[in-house]
Amino acid sequence: MKVGICLPYMKAGLTRDDYLQWFKRVDEGPFHSVSCGERVHGPTFDMRVLLAAAAACTSKVMITPTLYVLPMHSAVQVAKEVASLDILSGGRVQHVCVGYGGRDKDYAALEAPFKGRYGRMDTQVETLRQVWNQQEVIPGAGVIGPAPTQPGGPKLLAGALGPKSIARCAQWADGLYAWSGNGEQAELANAFSMADEAWQAAGRDSKPYRLGGFWCTLADNGPQRLYDYVYEYLAIAGPEIATMMAESVHRSSEDAVLEALDNAEAAGCEELFLVPATADLSEVDRLGDLLLRRG
């Protein structure tokens, strides 16, 4: 199982030097890939800019957006951004995760309609591949570049949770990004099982790529900082849900993180993203050391 790490895009006050050190430590470590998610509200950094910086400042790790909330954006613009990122990284954008998102206020801030996002994304995926295959979108206007390094562009992974969403994505996705906040084997295995069934029902002749992720920390005062991170991340859902989820996550020791890694591998993850709760450089160093000892 390949293991990557998510950049600390949710933290306020980070500087150029902070990120340069993160990029250096991650690229020197045993990590397969680096990722970043997308949120509009809050102190979050822009996913595209941050991953472009990571692509320019690293040479080894794969660069993976996790994920584009595709219906908030122009599909043509996303296709152009991803192809540019792929070229700037030297062909290290192998997968791009896309999802519907559930934050209506993020949609509103970008002046994008929240309603109809499911159907809209089906069409947008077609546009992404049309652009990446260098086919005209507007007849007579010419192709839209740049052309990605891989013919047809990166593989698209669906960030979907429920059976209906997974079944819908099975029509076009190359794999599934399954999430389990506490790295539970049953949650991940269930998601991959739904994906296998959906792919088969859709008549697909390939198996879905299996990417997973969970929250963790090996920073000092880890349990409290993990709780605070998850609560803040889910505060938009209300205090009851945020408290419930924050209390359910406990991957804040070496043994607990190792158990979650074993869970993910047993569930069938081909690749996994560790999502640290802090921006401490110790997260990169300690998680990297743990991965080296795990082998």
Each residue's pLDDT tens digit in the chain (295 positions)? 999 999 999 999 999 999 999 999 999 999 999 999 999 999 999 999 999 999 999 999 999 999 999 999 999 999 999 999 999 999 999 999 999 999 999 999 999 999 999 999 999 999 999 999 999 999 999 999 999 999 999 999 999 999 999 999 999 999 999 999 999 999 999 999 999 999 999 999 999 999 999 999 999 999 999 999 999 999 988 999 999 999 999 999 999 999 999 999 999 999 999 999 999 999 999 999 999 999 8
What backbone torsions phi and psi does residue 3 show, to the nearest 5 degrees?
A: -125, 130
Q: What is the pLDDT of residue 140?
A: 97
Could you write out the three-class secondary structure of the chain?
A: CEEEEECCCCCCCCCHHHHHHHHHHHHHCCCCEEEECCCCCCCCCCHHHHHHHHHHHCCCCEEEEEEEEHHHCCHHHHHHHHHHHHHHCCCCCCEEEEECCCCHHHHHHCCCCCCCHHHHHHHHHHHHHHHHCCCCCCCCCCCCCCCCCCCCCCEEEECCCCHHHHHHHCCCCCEEEEECCCCCHHHHHHHHHHHHHHHHHCCCCCCCEEEEEEEECCCCCHHHHHHHHHHHHHHHHCHHHHHHHHHHCCCCCHHHHHHHHHHHHHHCCCEEEEEECCCCHHHHHHHHHHHHHHC
pLDDT on residue 287: 98
Q: What pLDDT score does 111 carry?
A: 97
In this prediction, residue 12 carries a pLDDT of 93
**Statement: the pTM of the whole predicted model exceeds 0.85:** yes
CA distances from 49 to 170, 203, 210, 262, 265 (A): 30, 37, 26, 33, 31
